Amino acid sequence: MKNRMKQLGILLVILLMVNIAQNGLSNPKTYFLNMLIALPGIVIGLSFHEFGHAFVSDRLGDPTPRTQGRVTLNPLAHFDPVGFLALMFCGFGWGIPVEVNSRYYKHPRRDELLVSLAGVVMNLIVAIVFSFIVHFVYINVPYDKLSDGTLMGTLFNILLQVVIVNVVLMVFNLIPVPPLDGFGIITEIFNLREKSFYYTLYNYGFPILMILLIVGVVDKILNPMVNGVYALLLQYIIL
């Protein structure tokens, strides 16, 4: 456990250095102002994501999430201080993962698939709902009142960030690398637990993910998919 935390600390420091090198923190005032605008979207996105996992597992007969107080939209139930600080300074963070016990499921593979899908589906629903809210504001508030520097403009940007952040969370969590939901999804679809490499990949998944983040592979996967989903919402709902 100590070695894993040490590895995590080293990887986060490297990720912080990468973030600084890529001008993420070259202008602290602008950086943290942008993070402040994105913060409601982050809180909403992470809360709904983890709630989705907990709610579906609870409905499938697993008492673990309810016992641990996770079947709630209260952000404090899903808040991880280290994950939040990593998000603020390193550009990558996490909430407290929802613990589930598949022994309670009547159809383990199907039910684990549903639980894995629940988080990203919740993020998609949030993104769609807030897209309609953004659309309502866009067509009912005069354009000059939505300009940068105005109160309505700031609120509009916050609403827009809720959409963007939830799209990012959805797409990011679909990457098939543990501990992300995408790995859980392909595990159940292709029954990867029967494969010899499964547990090795599962145990080393987080360092692998961090390395992919550091070298920029995740961005190359994430950006086109996020832009594609956001473009669809922009075309069919927001505008």
Q: Would you please indicate which residues are annotated as catalytic (active-site) residues? A: 50
* Residue 34 CB-density burial (10 A; 0-12 exposed, 13-18 middle, 19+ buried): middle
Cα of first residue to Cα of last residue in the chain, in angstroms, is: 49
Residue 53 in contact with residue 115, Cβ under 8 Å?
Answer: yes
Q: How many other CB atoms are there within 10 angstroms of residue 39's CB atom?
A: 17
Radius of gyration of the chain (CA): 19
Side chain identity at residue 44, one-letter code = I
109 CB-near residues (< 8 Å, 6+ apart): 188, 191
Distance, CA of 199 to CA of 196 (rounded, Å): 7
Q: Which two tokens mark 119?
A: 């988080």
CB distance 96 to 49 below 8 Å: no
